[in-house]
Structure formats: C-alpha cells, structure tokens
Amino acid sequence: MAPDMEAAFFDLDKTIISKSSSLALSRPLYRAGMVSRSALLKGIYAQLVYLLMGADEKRMDRAKEAMVALSKGWDQTAVEEIVRDVLINLIDPYVYQEALDLIALHRALGREVFVVSSSPEEVVKPLAEHFGATGVIATRAEIVEGKYTGNLEFYAYAANKAEAIVEIAERRGLDLARSYAYSDSATDLPMLEAVGNPVAVNPDRDLRREAEKRGWQIRYFRRPVRLRSRLQSVPRPTVPVAAVAAVAAAAVFVVWVIARPRRRED
C-alpha cells in the first residue's frame, strides 16, 4: 500500500440507502414467526420516527439495549434461509443513485471506499461488496458455538466509528486529511471530524446546523434506484460461501431495534 492514499467513508442508512434495513427485514421475520405482530408494529413505528426525526444518543442507546436482549440465545442457522434470499431484494429498490455515482467516482480517482454503519457486519459486508466498497466498519456481535451470546464485541457508533477509521488509516497508510466522509446524522460528527472533507448527506436538523456553522458541504440524495440494474453492466464481485452464510445472522441484529421477540403463529 502506497503511503498517503485517500479514502471515502460512507454511512449506510439514509446515506447510501433511503430507508432503514431493519424495517425492510422485519416483515420476512414476522412471516417466519420470529417476530410478533406487536413487535412488527413497534418496529415500523420506531423506524418512521427515525426516518422523520433522525437518531440521537438516547434512541441509539435504547436500540443497543434491544439488540442485546433480542439476540441472546438465537441460533445463527435458524435465520439463514430467511435472510439469504431476501436481503438484496429488499434493499435493492432503495439505493441512492447519487451514492452509487459518488462511490464510483471515488474508486475511479483511486480512493478506497468503506461503508461505516452501526448495523451488524453480517448485513453490511455483503451490501458493501455489491456497492464495490473496499471494506466495512460495522457492529460485531459475540457468537459462541453458533449462538449469539447477547454481547457485542464492537459497537460501531459515534466516537467508536472515528476510532475505527483512524485505526484503518494507520494500518493501510491512508491520509485522512485528504479523505472524505458522508453521513446524515449528528451522531456521526466524530466520523465526519476525522477527515478533511466531511459531507452532510440528507442531514438531520442538528447535523445541518453544525455543517452550516462549520462550512461543510451539504448534499441531498433524492433518487433511489434498483442496484441490480446498475450491476448488469458491471462485473459482480464474487461472494465467498462463508460470507453468504454470514448474511443469515443479519436478521438477529437488524431487528434488534424492535421489541423483545415472542414466538407465535402467523
């Protein structure tokens, strides 16, 4: 790796995709009997609040607590069949054209591209590969003997994102002063502050105010497109079997933001 390489770091929800991935995956889990009707409705309501008002520290803390409570004891293989075939299909219609164009531009200019998200790495990794990203920074859960313990090894949120970016930069020889970061939320201020070219995308109220005060660029993405249509003329990355299997774990964490699970017949 040549020294002083540049990079671009993209948040996922409301920056690359126009909706929350947890909302997209909640219905298949409900149909499979893994999420109750009340949990589904609570999840939809919570995500509508998130989409309209953004995320603050208190909301994210509640989501983190729900993550731990919901995941404990779940078997990774129990959700494999649900997620393997639906993840890309559900996210596909909600990818921002502007985000894809920016990712392609950064890659054409020789920059490395990373997706940085508080979502679990099991769901972020396969999506990042479809976007053509170099790698990801995402939440990692603890798994012992194929079961989720309810603990997190790494929570990709707020200052933790910035620390992970700095670690990657040191390891890969990236010049953060010449690098870029894109996010919609004020909770990602540390991530934006870590680079020389921060960009607020579809910013919430607090981030927009901070970006205006600091003279940061503000951009609005308005054109969701089908990712699959963009991939038809571009060679698709090969996804290892292990990575495909890992997508299954996404269901556990993506619905963490919903209430506690209660098995019931659909």
- 28 Cβ contact list (under 8 Å, min separation 6): 82, 83, 86, 90, 251
Q: What is the C-alpha to C-alpha distance for residues 212 and 178, in angstroms, rounded to an integer?
A: 20
Exposed e or buried b per residue across 64-102, where buried means at least 16 C-beta atoms within 10 angstroms of its C-beta = bebbeebbeebebeebbebbbebbeebbbebbbebbbeb
Query: Which residues are tagged catalytic?
Result: 11, 13
